Structure 1
Amino acid sequence: MSQSKTLHHPLRSTARAAQFLLACPLVLPIGWANAVTLSDEPLGSAGITSVTVKPNIAMVLDDSGSMEWDYMPNGGNSNTLCYGNKLYNTIAYDPTYTYKPPYKPNGSVPAGDPYQDNLPRYPMASFTNAKTDGFGVVSGTVNLSTSPPFSYTYTSNNKQYTQKYYYSNYTATSGSGISCPSKNPNNSYAAIISDANIVAPVFVGLTAKQNYANWYSYYRTRINMMKSSTGEAFSTLSDNYRVGLFYLHTANNPVKIADFDPTQRDLWFTRLYGSTVNGGTPLREALSKVGRMYAGKGPTNYGDPVQYSCQRNYTILSTDGYWNGNGSQDLNGNAIKDQDGNAPRPFLDTHKQADTLADTAYYYYATDLRTSALNNCQNTINGITYADLCTNNVKAGSAKDKNDQQHMTTFTLGLGVNGTIVYNSKYEGETDDKSLTQYIDILNGTANWAAITDWNCNNNCPAQVDDLWHAAVNGRGTYFSASSPAAVEAGLTSALKDADADPGAAAAVATSNLELVSGGNNMVYLARYRTVKWDGDILALPIDSMSGAVSGTHTWSAQSALDKQVANAAPGDGRNIYFYNSATKQLASFTYTNLDADGKGALFTNACPSSGAPLTQCATLSATQKTAANNGDNLVNYLRGQSTYEADTNTINPLYREREHILGDIANAMPVYVQKAPFSYEKFDLSYAGFKSDKSTRSGTVYAAANDGMLHAIDASDGTERWAYVPSAVMPNMRLLSDTDYQHRYFVDGSPTVADVCSSPSSGGGSPSVCDSKSAWHTVLIGGLDKGGCGYYALDITSPTAPKALWEFKHEKLGYSFSDPIVTRRKDGKWVAIFSSGYNNVPSNPACGNANADGRGYVFVVDAMTGALLDTIATNEGTTAQPSNLGRLNAWVDDAALNTADAIYGADMLGNVWRFDFDDNFGASGKEAFKLATLSNASGTRQPVTNKVELAVVGKHRVVFVGTGSLLNTNDLSNTEIQSIYALKDDLKASTGLGNPRSNTTIKPRTLANATSGTVSIRTVSGASMDWSIDNGWYIDLSAGERINVDMQLQYNMLNVASNVPEANACNSGGYSWLYFINFETGKNFTTATDDMLGMRLTNNALTAGIKMVKTESEKTVTIVSDTRGEVEGMGTPSAGGGGGLTSTRRTMWREIQD
């Protein structure tokens, strides 16, 4: 048997040398064309689906003939003075309302942005050349200055006169409602408004005549008001929703439901604004068509939008309120019977009428729309098949929408016309007014829904308006009035917010020890996050030193400790938060005064700008509140955790988003535990011995990067925060954390690296060089941001309570900083930090703003103490159209006690495996990238690498271990391309690489086979024997859909590999995992393995987030697995090396193995 040894890795996380870090981010993510897509939310965690399951929204537009009318309600007399009054004709001009040109995705922001929302819109209408229909469906123009739209006829002195006017001011007498009894202009009830007297609402930059012209062109008819109001409500919906457009009649082509991306938005709004009107108002038929669509039984041109069993399906039915025409159909094509005649209030129809609109909504809410009997448990959309649609696991959308069967939730949208029940936009929480018939009366039983008496209504049928409202109640949605577009938008947003995922947990863990000893500090530090609220926590959990079992009871919570810390310091925060002062090159307190002095103050002011992108809440804040929200001190204090202006029930001026907890979510970043100086550099450098002795009693600290924009230093003894640091690169977006409609994004999301480095190595020419003194040794922390930004930062954390600034790094070739930094020593003794160009280093990446980025892979070598760029090494792979996405790196270090690396290894998403000669140690003079291999599967498809390669010596041969595959976005979930595990020999003298390993006969294939061991599903392996003197490696092809997207672990001659298999159903914890224990010398199982097991399927029904090997006090090797539910489990491993436990000659190396 050939001898092998595990490579002594450099300090990719030197504090991870003594500290165990588990779990690498599984949560990689969603974004642009021509670049790797990266989501702004974690994927695949406990309680969270591995896919963003977007709600389906079917907007049903009333395109009946009555929608062309310019009055509401029905029965209005156009030959009256009252016809032009808002109280008599609810769509007449209202001088108190601001009529905006409708939102238009490909339009332009009006000159001067008079509406202060920076939205593209249709052109401002012209008062002297106003379009009859601003949407262009009907042609024609009118000069409003000479042709007012309203007129009435009256008789005076036995002579008939016609008077034209723009609108009328009319105030009804007490108790007269909206009646308009007089046509006589001399009557005090009405007044003619002439051109010169048109009034507009007080609004900066908007003239009275302009407002009137906008009303005339875009709001004067029912259909145009509905188009404008609906467009305004949908203007802010993002592609977090799937949206379609449907009609009552077939004259207009529907828009099938799809992601509301720019293409869909353009099509959706084009069809909305281009809709024509004709015919009756068959709302019941239209609603049942959409309900049947959600069951996969609708009209062919509607499609079937359902992707997941847990997906929520909504319908918004808009109308002028009076339905008629064809009735409804159930899933079998029959008329819908009475559904609510025996239902509880407020659903109850005491008249027990069948086939009402309310019955239709009730049926499609209460009926299971996906069952095996209906043969609709599978659906194919754009070539992607979605299976298992019949599982009843729809999550509650709101307190009233708790049906876990596949169903339709119905919202209805009217034009502000009352039926027999007086409408209140807050009807679900209204108080009882005994003088009115209200919804609360329906709820309490003092009133009932009106009976339908005219089943083919053509004019003024208030019962149909009630039925529209009743349909929303039965459909567990909300009834809205389109006379207030802002109310529609706010109500819809509130309703859909309940569709967000439930709180969950899953992140990385760190431990204080890799060798567990009785009485020692054996602790796991588990990072968590919670969706929707987007807060986080770190829990300290004890580990049993004998078994490796992790306790379920924490000794402290960082979340609770920080909440208490800030509460005790109120109205302040009692925190030490720092940022890098670019002028002084030192840390400064994170206050607005200091930020402003360093030129960063503008990033924290003008949360509600007059132009640009204000926070969501700015639209509802008063002028005084906006002034307070724009104050930099207020926002920075909020970000520090102060709650003075936080939006909760205890504040007078709720300016900023409410937080239940202060600590932000910790998603992809692995915490790092730091205490003693853990390395063995004293073997070559006695000065380190003094440093090591001095730091032997250093207090333990957990460093955690969080998406509140800060790196947190947490006291490992009790969970209190020592201090926090805000990297400059995340500051431009931090104001978004205060948005009341905050949508998650990443900030400080990269795992930090901690290392001990010497700031002044001896220049005496010795080999190896030594440090001048123990005081020249420093503990440094270097971190990236992952999707949070495009840069790196470095701090001196030698003292856990007094950090010092070192540097911040940006570069024109740098993308998202996904490369966990390596800290190592060059052969000249200089300590350097090394990291890659990361993901999406292309000009089209707006986060980086690097116009000169070219998509190629780069390795940057910087001075570890100063950040000065020493070398840049480029690969010849990657373009702006297809970037290489070179990510995590590893370094070859022969002796960990010296930590001098002679090469850097890494792989990219184009399947290239690289050796970087960063110190001019190989081949011709110079520092270059050498392509060791290009990985493709048997079908010729390149295999992406998104994790770190592992390195080891087998006999006398250098071997690189690579696992392929990605889990970056929803498209990856359905990707069944074959991925692989490779062992590749690096012959340092070769002038060319290995090419495609499977085309190289010296690289031996291994074949997996499924088997069982008791009740456990296992895999065995077969393949030819290995002779490393002539063979160049081995490879194992995984099963379809299986991939390696978390870091492998290598110890002695065992390669520990976790693979993930996402399931097509996105409604559980994401899928399942296999755990492999590979003898890396042979690519096969260990002889000690039970039933020849190479790998086992984990039974936790979740994806694996990370793995780590530790040694217990009983000399047992345990693999600790963390999964996407936030659970941690220790699992025994086969004996490595063909013997028993770990030998004494290897123990000293245990701490030196890096993750």
Structure 2
Amino acid sequence: MQTKRISRMPAPRRLAAHIAAMSFCLTGVASMANAASFDISSVPLYLGGTIEPNILFILDDSGSMQFEAIPESLTWTYYLFPPVSNMYGGSIYDNRIIQFSDTSARNVQVRSSHNNKIFYNPNVTYLPWVNQDNAAWANINPFDAPFNPQNYSRGKWNLTTEKSYNRWRNDSGTNDTARTYWPITFYVYKGSGAVDNYRNYVKYQIRGTAGYRQDLNGGSETTVTTFPWGRSVAQETQNFANWFSYYRSRILTARAGIGRGFAAQGEGMRVGFGAINTDSSTVDGLAGGTVIRGVRRFEGTDRAGFFSELYGHTIPAAGTPLRRALDDAGQYFSRTDDRGPWSTTPGATGGTDLSCRQSYAILMTDGYWSEGSEYDARTSAARDNNVDGVAGSAITGPGGESYTYSATSPFSDSYSDTLADVAMYYWKRDLRTDVENRVPTTTINPAFWQHMSLFGIGLGVEGTVSPDAAFAAIDSGTTIPWGNPLEGTTAVKDARKVDDLLHASVNARGGFFSASDPDEFAQVIKETLESIGRRSSSASAAAVSAFQLSSESKIFRATYESGGWTGDLAAYALDPVTGQPTATPSWSAAALIPAHGSRSIFTWSPESGGTGVPFLWSSITTAQKGYLNSDARLLNYLRGEQLHEVGGAGDGVFRARAGKLGDIVNSDPAYVASEDFGYATLSGIPLAQRTAYVTRKNSTAFKERPGTLYVGANDGMLHAFDASTGVEKFAFIPNSVFPYLKELADPDYTHRYYVDGAPKVGDAWIGTSWKTVLVGSTGAGGRSYFALDVENPNAFGADKIMWEFSHAELGYTIGQASIVMTEGGDWVAIFGNGYNSDSHKAQLFVVRLSDGALLARLDTGVGSTTTPNGLATPVAVDFDQDGAADMVYAADMLGNVWKFDLTSTAAANWKVAFGGKPLFQAKDSLGNAQPITAKPQVAALGGRGVYVYIGTGQFFERGDQGDMARQSLYGIKDECGRRVTGSDCEAATGSSKVARTNLLEQSITYEYRLTVGDKNWGLRQVTNRTMSPTSPEKGFFIDLISPRLGVQGERVTEAVSVWSDRVIFVTRIPNSDPCSFGGSSWLMEVDPATGGRLDFAAFDLNGDGLFNMADWVPLLDNEGNPVLDEDGNEVRTPPTGILNEDGMMRMPAVLRVGDTVMKNMTDTSGQLVQIPNKVPFSLGRQSWRQLR
């Protein structure tokens, strides 16, 4: 798992120990663009700068690719049908073929797909090749079948007529006697017995229009009209013809698979083409070898040109110079000119070299590399001196990080002049020292410098080392027994040369796959390209299994790949001493999704008052079937069936998916096990219910309730995963997303959101017992909330779906609910109305949890069709700690911070506080309203009263990346708290209770970089203006304006975290730099009463594990000059903020690790940022309670 530590921090004194605050991430949501509506983005906004990777595909054009058998042990002859001279554009080998004889062991073996993996297999439907647009070539005419479908002039055959030939090889030698045979002859192994005994086979043959079958163990020949696998004679003839012309040899099978794999890809990659026997070439103005076409964006004429080379390239009777070819590829990626592969305009001058572009070589081969100096790497440094056995030089990144290759297992060996040496030479060296090192890293590839990664793909080759073991050793360091590929017998060396290709792939931190049959090979090519094309990112927050670290602790992270819009939820075990996650996940949910027929998937049927039903064709409504085009295949596709995907064995009508789990973007995973919500001690809850809560809490069933993770995905489902195994328990599809589900199957799918909201889980008294209830939302995917009874997730069924709620005034539900009890004793879900409701006014919804009935809709009256508005996530507060919500705070898009009065036992008396006016209106210094999309946080600061903390800014509409509006962080006093009487609390005298002019201003004064020890920090300072508890100020504000760069569009889109001695918040600064993962973030920590600079060290800058004045730093001005006091001494202060430049961060999940508390924060680069803190000490009983 990729992790990075920014700093260590001192002991937090947590202000509200019983706060369970809701939070959500507003980072790109679904589109509903019309006049005076919010133009919600349908993709994550920070992906606008995705960098297309370079992919150089290198074809094995050695002579063995002409062979018509796999594996090598079956190549008693090169061909199985009389070869046509020049059929692949070059010379051919000896033209003897295995004699057609039913009693020949070699014949039945080599003409049976059980042994010869590329021979005709009647259980496979052989599809024609495809063009660059995935359109299939025509079926082959059996009466006119070409030996090479790219060029009919090189020979063709009538496969249905008897042939004669006189160049044979039999079991004992050769034969030159003219003999007749029928081309459509194949043998099916009976499943037992020696494979070299012809009696263990059944012969099938087509002669003209008639089919025949004969058991070779003494059986008589019989006529066949329908073959055992279901085809008629005509259909079998057609299938054999397609195999003969499109798959008969290694090169034909390879072209079929490569073509299908590349045709299934989009345009978001840059592809080049090479062939290993291209000794010299000139590409984009420079001479070299192997490379025939330089990388280009995979579109238009360049895409067509790739397919033309793939299908038409000459295959000579030549050797296998893999080492030379890989060296040539490395030299190509070492180009520094502006027409080279790092440029934005490869092949043309004037482009810009991007420092974060990834470059891959895919080396495909059917055999073992050739020995001899003429086949060596041309670059002496790549072939000599045992490159992978020697440590590398230190390479430094832009943030001061450093990496030095260490010659350890599984990378090193003691041999020179190997393919692994060549791969290492172009991996461990910085190929572009003139360009910043900002290449994205992965779990297995730490290279942040410009380098070449390698994917090795073998066609029908096997070595002695397990690829899984070899790649696992990257993490474990296990010794891998690499043999010397230049020593031993031919058989030993050949096996070691296959291992050397694997070794090269490990050294270059790519991947390795080997396949034999055509379908398997096509899938390998497709998966390789998809793994390269996908860009891993994360927008959802991390989750931990418990606050206290133990040997069982895990951290859970949701990620997604934007190339194919697939997602994953992975669990990482945590070191019980350090809290560091393992590099390899304990499980990956995406890899464990059950077969489509075995999944427990449910939906909501709105008919007859509404009920939960299985997501099966027999259960959904007629209207829902209509949304699925009345096609049961589409429902099965959504359940995970891949039969009818493009490139699949079925009709090929649905979008091909690399995985069954959709992308998880803004839905934060919720972990639920046997949490105690504390309801047994709250006086407002009836005694019988409190007693029942204790009984439930102490029951074995509750104590042993298995941990479950709930998360929404953009495959249309809310998923529940077993936290121990990662296996999906069940999934739920809201009715509100049905109109859009069919889009998921469109081969031209354009991303949108489906179930993108963060689920909220809590306990509630439902009917006559306590239940754990999940309230989820569709986020930007629809306009609904839903509730599920998850008391027993292992016994979840349709009857556990409680309700789905929609309303004309409920917009896109980009927010999260609260689950609370009211003063009247009703358990409810409370949520804001989101964005693009019918009236566009900000409104608060209160829905009864047991049945989804609307109890109250509190309309602020603010917003219109010309000035659209909407209410974000609310927070409920229980001031008197009786267990019932007293007040609710929430903010809107026009900068209003609202307070809602729920102190009455009657819903009809609930109202907007302060006479219908907001507590506060957020406006910048120019008077412009500042939108608020974050949830407020509320805290009591002793004698200073109640504070409401909120940050401003948005990041969900198209164009928000470039929004340069001024945003702020506010701490606002609510002097009324729970009090609702008195003129000062019954109404506001102005437009709001508190105005900006009533607040103390703090400013960001300095930003600079400073090296402390071996780390280079981006640091920030704010002022430390003070106010006393009796000061007239009613809070504070900090404008997020850089003193060095001015207004950058910095904003706060998440709830802050409040501790007794500080307010912690994360800002986001989007930018258009395609190498920045969408932007950067500041982690800020300020005084909770004043918003000013802290008077203690909040960050362990020197890394000594202490938080003291050694972590104070010289105050530098924005030009880097020391700030001096009046006596001429350097001013030293603790910094207020630290910079994360490698992506925009999320607020943390907190985990106790011994004497520290670890903050775990994800960022948009896909990494986990870890920040250690000391364990907070208890503050005693709180005077108020913020509800879950």
Partners of 1:692 and 1:1150 lie apart in 2 by 26
1:603 partnered with 2:596: no
2:538 aligns with 506
Cα distance between partner residues in 2 of 1:721 and 1:916: 39
Secondary structure of the equivalent of 1:552? coil
| Structure 1 position 674, deviation (Å) | 0.7
Deviation at 1:969, TM superposition (A): 4.3
Q: Work out whether residues 13 and 1059 of structure 2, in 8 Å CA contact, stay in contact via their aligned partners in 1.
A: no
Which of 813, 827, 846 is matched with 1:861 structurally? 846
**2:1022 and 2:1009 mapped to 1: Cα distance?**
13
Kindly provide the amino acid, as one letter, of the partner of residue 518 in structure 1: S
How far 1:503 moved relative to its partner?
2.6
CA-to-aligned-CA distance 1:709-734 (integer Å, 9 cap, x gap): 11111111101111111111111211
Taking the aligned partners of 1:52 and 1:810, their CA distance within structure 2 comes to 39
The within-5 A match list for 1:94-113 is: none
List per-residue Cα deviations over 1:586-617 (Å, max 9, x = no partner).
42211011113x653222234xxxxxxxxxxx
Q: Could you tell me which residue of structure 2 aligns to residue 786 of structure 1? A: 779
Amino acid at match of 2:883: N
Q: Within 5 A, what are the aligned runs for 1:64-463? A: 391=354
Could you tell me how far apart the structure 1 residues matched to 2:652 and 2:362 are? 25
Q: Which residue of 2 aligns with 1:683?
A: 681
Corresponding residue for 2:738? Answer: 731
Change in Cα spacing, 1:902 to 1:658, as seen in structure 2 (3 Å) is same
The equivalent residue for 2:952 is: 964
**Alignment partner of 1:1097 is 2:1145:** no
Of 1138, 1144, 1147, 1:1106 maps to 1147
Q: What's the offset of the Cα at 1:1008?
A: 1.5
The answer as to 2:1129 corresponding to 1:1142 is no
CA apart distance, 1:1023: 4.0
Aligned partner of 2:550 in structure 1 is 518
Q: What percentage of aligned pairs have identical amino acids?
A: 27
Corresponding residue of 1:741: 748
Equivalent of residue 1086 in structure 1, options 1091, 1094, 1105: 1094
Does the residue aligned with 2:692 lie in a helix, a strand or coil?
helix
SS in 1 for 2:676: coil
Number of residue pairs the alignment of both structures matches: 692
Please state whether the residue corresponding to 1:973 is helix, strand or coil: helix
Q: Would the alpha carbon gap of residues 925 and 4 (structure 1) be closer, same or farther in structure 2, given more than 3 Å must change?
A: farther
2:603 aligned with 1:592, yes or no? Answer: no
* Mapped pair 1:640 → 2:627: no
Mapped to 1, the partners of 2:530 and 2:590 lie a distance apart of: 25
Alignment of 1:897-912 (within 5 A): 898-912=882-896
The answer to whether residue 1163 in structure 2 is matched with residue 1129 in structure 1 is no
Give the deviation of 1:577 after TM superposition: 0.9
- Structure 1 distance, partners of 2:1076, 2:32, is 23
SS of equivalent residue, structure 1 residue 1101: coil
> What is the deviation of 1:975?
2.4
On the 8 A contact 1:11/1:823 being kept in 2, the answer is no
Distance 1:1049 1:1118 in 2: 14
Q: Distance in 1 between matches of 2:1185 and 2:592?
A: 33
Give, as a single letter, the amino acid of the residue that structure 2 aligns with 1:800.
P
State the partner residue of 1:707.
714
Aligned counterpart, 2:603: 579
Report the TM-score, using the length of structure 1 for normalisation.
0.54
Q: CA deviation at 1:514?
A: 4.8
Q: Deviations over 1:951-977 (max 9, x none)?
A: 101224121101111222452222222
AA matched with 1:784: S
Partner Cα separation in structure 2 for residue 1130 and residue 367 of structure 1: 35
**Partner of 2:226 in structure 1?**
none
Distance 1:1058 1:546, change over 3 A: farther
In structure 2, C-alpha distance between the alignment counterparts of 1:750 and 1:1033, rounded to whole Å: 32
Change (3 A) 1:865 1:1083: same
- Do 2:918 and 2:992's aligned partners in 1 also have CA atoms closer than 8 Å? no
Residue 369 of structure 1, CA deviation: 8.3
Aligned to 2:15: 6
CA contact (8 A) 1:893 1:902 kept: yes
CA distance in structure 2 between the aligned counterparts of 1:364 and 1:518, rounded to whole angstroms: 53
Q: For residues 1078 and 36 of structure 2, what CA distance do their matches in structure 1 show?
A: 26
User: Structure 1 residues 922, 892: closer, same or farther in 2, change over 3 A?
Assistant: farther
Helix, strand or coil: the match of 1:786? coil
Q: Distance in 2 between matches of 1:1075 and 1:1154?
A: 26
Aligned letter for 2:879?
Answer: D
1:1007 & 1:506 partners in 2: Cα distance?
31
Aligned pair partner of 2:1040 in 1035, 1038, 1041:
1038
Match of 2:922 in 1: 935
- The equivalent of 1:952 in structure 2 is 939
Aligned partners of 2:1153, 2:340: CA distance in 1, in Å?
55
Question: Do the aligned partners of 1:656 and 1:739 also contact (CA within 8 Å) in 2?
Answer: yes
- RMSD, aligned CA: 4.7
- Over 3 Å counting, the alpha-carbon distance change for 1:885 and 1:1083 in structure 2 is same
- Equivalent residue for 1:797, pick from 781, 790, 800: 790
CA gap 1:879/1:750 in 2 versus in 1, 3 angstroms:
same
Offset of 1:701 from its aligned partner? 0.7
Q: Within 1, Cα distance between the matches of 2:1001 and 2:1054?
A: 23
1:1059 maps to 2:1090: no
Change (3 A) 1:647 1:907: same
Displacement, 1:873? 0.5
- Distance in 1, matches of 2:906 and 2:51, equals 47
**SS state at 1:1017 partner:** strand
Does structure 2 retain, via aligned residues, the 8 Å contact 1:794–1:806? yes
C-alpha distance after superposition, 1:754-797 (max 9, x if no partner): 1100124xxxxxxxxxxxxxx51111111111110001111111
Q: Which amino acid aligns with 1:810?
A: S
Q: Distance in 1 between matches of 2:989 and 2:736?
A: 38
Match of 1:542 in 2: 573
Q: CA 1:39/1:993 → structure 2, altered by over 3 Å: closer, same or farther?
A: farther
Aligned with residue 655 of structure 1, among 650, 653, 663: 653
Q: Which amino acid aligns with 2:723?
A: A
**SS in structure 2 of the partner of residue 943 of structure 1:** coil
- Any unmatched runs of 5+ in structure 1? 14-20, 55-174, 176-238, 242-290, 292-309, 318-343, 347-362, 378-388, 407-493, 567-571, 607-630, 761-774, 842-852, 1136-1140
TM-score, normalized by length of structure 2? 0.53
1070, 1076, 1079: which one pairs with 1:1071? 1079
- How far did 1:513 drift? 4.2
* C-alpha distance in structure 1 between counterparts of 2:657 and 2:1040, whole Å: 44
Distance 2:582 2:573 in 1: 5
Q: 1:999 to 1:716 in 2, by over 3 A?
A: closer
1:978 and 1:375 map into 2 onto residues whose CA distance is 39
Task: Look up the match of 1:808.
Answer: 804
Counterpart code for 2:671: Y
Distance 1:554 1:8 in 2: 31
Decide whether aligned partners of structure 1 residues 824 and 960 sit closer, same or farther in structure 2, where only a CA change above 3 A counts. Answer: same
How many Å separate the matches in 2 of 1:367 and 1:720?
A: 42
What amino acid is the match of 1:38? I
Letter in 2 for 1:913: V
By how many angstroms is 1:1097 displaced? 2.9
Query: 1:573 corresponds to which letter in structure 2?
Result: G
Kindly state the Cα deviation for residue 1079 of structure 1 after the two structures are TM-superposed. Answer: 2.0
Distance of 1:866 and 1:907 partners within structure 2: 27
Shift of residue 998, structure 1, vs aligned partner: 10
**For the structure 1 residues 558 and 498, does the alpha-carbon distance in structure 2 shift closer, same or farther, using more than 3 Å as the test?**
closer
Cα distance in structure 1, aligned partners of 2:543 and 2:1055: 17
Q: Which amino acid letter does the alignment assign opposite residue 1149 of structure 2?
A: K
Q: 1:860 to 1:51 in 2, by over 3 A?
A: farther
Match of 1:673 in 2: 671
Once the two structures are TM-superposed, the CA of residue 1109 in structure 1 deviates from its matched residue by: 3.6
Query: Is 1:892 aligned to 2:933, yes or no?
Result: no
Cα gap change, 1:921/1:1017 in structure 2, threshold over 3 Å: closer, same or farther? farther
What's the secondary structure of 1:529's corresponding residue? strand
